[in-house]
Amino acid sequence: MKVRIIIPTYNEAENITPLIAELFQAAPVDARILVVDDGSPDGTAGIIRALAAKEPRLSLLTRPGKLGMGSAYRAAFRRVLDEGADEAIVTMDADFSHNPEYVPQLIREAENHDLVIGSRYIAGGGIENWELWRRALSWGGNLYVRMITGLPIRDCTAGFSCMRTDFLRRVPFERVKPSGYAWWFTLRMMLYRRGARIREIPVTFTERRLGQSKINTHIIYEGLVEPWRIRFSKS
């Protein structure tokens, strides 16, 4: 299965080089990586360009400013689908909260499923090095989404996943507007409503090694409002 690994970045200069090295060690030999950088002032894009000059499996999509995670994935999905060479897309964070060692399993499971999610909230999954308030916010947020939308996924907001491109083509993902974690459950509801075969596998989420978290009040606001929009939407 031909796979593209998509990694949005903003100020990830400290993490991106070791992450890419570990991914190329863990992932199938023909897997490719697309980094989407939102004009990081710390020079993340320059690091990727230098690495890509020596590694043809690595490519970079740059954008003029901090446009948000959801927007980054919309742009990356469109590029991958337009190129038409990949059978699956892996999505993950750039900060090592998503361990590259899980990538091969995500890809294997996508042989028989349209969406595979690396889940913190099923048996065997977990979170390391999070404060209690963040654990409560994440767990409660997922419960909130499930109760309002009926989405049968334990970890609705997980960003670590693998999707088959043939099924993604059926989904109007460019209409998914949230910029933060609400992007994930909005997209997944679209997939679910179209009959996607969904599987969750247990992963351990680890707090970022370096740099700062991107969570803010706007992301939390989206998480509160978007489930209600989904509930009364037919898309």
What is the domain count for the chain? Answer: 1
pLDDT tens-place string over residues 29-74: 999 999 999 999 999 999 999 999 999 999 999 999 999 999 999 9
Residue in this structure with the two tokens 């990694």, named with its chain if needed: 7
* Separation between Cα atoms, residue 176 and residue 183, nearest integer Å: 6
Domain of residue 20 covers 3-231
Q: What is the pLDDT of residue 180?
A: 86
Phi-psi region of 53 (alpha: psi -120 to 50; beta: other; left: phi over 0): alpha
Q: Which of 85, 61, 64, 86 is nearest to 73 (CA)?
A: 61
Query: Rounded distance, CA 164 to CA 107, Å?
Result: 9
The span from the first CA to the last CA of the chain, in angstroms, equals 29
pLDDT of residue 38: 97
Question: In whole angstroms, what is the distance from residue 233 CA to residue 129 CA?
Answer: 37
**Angle formed by the axes of helices 69-83 and 182-193, nearest 10°:** 40
- pLDDT tens column, 192-209: 999 999 999 999 999 865
Instruction: Write down the pLDDT at residue 196.
Output: 98
pLDDT of residue 213: 57
Q: Give pLDDT, residue 215.
A: 65
Residues 180 and 223: beta-carbon distance below 8 Å: yes
Give the chain's residues under pLDDT 50: none
Q: Rounded to two decimals, what is the model's pTM?
A: 0.92
CA atoms lying within 13 Å on the CB side of residue 93: 25
Predicted local distance difference test score (pLDDT) of residue 184: 96
Q: What CATH code is carried by the domain that includes residue 86?
A: 3.90.550.10
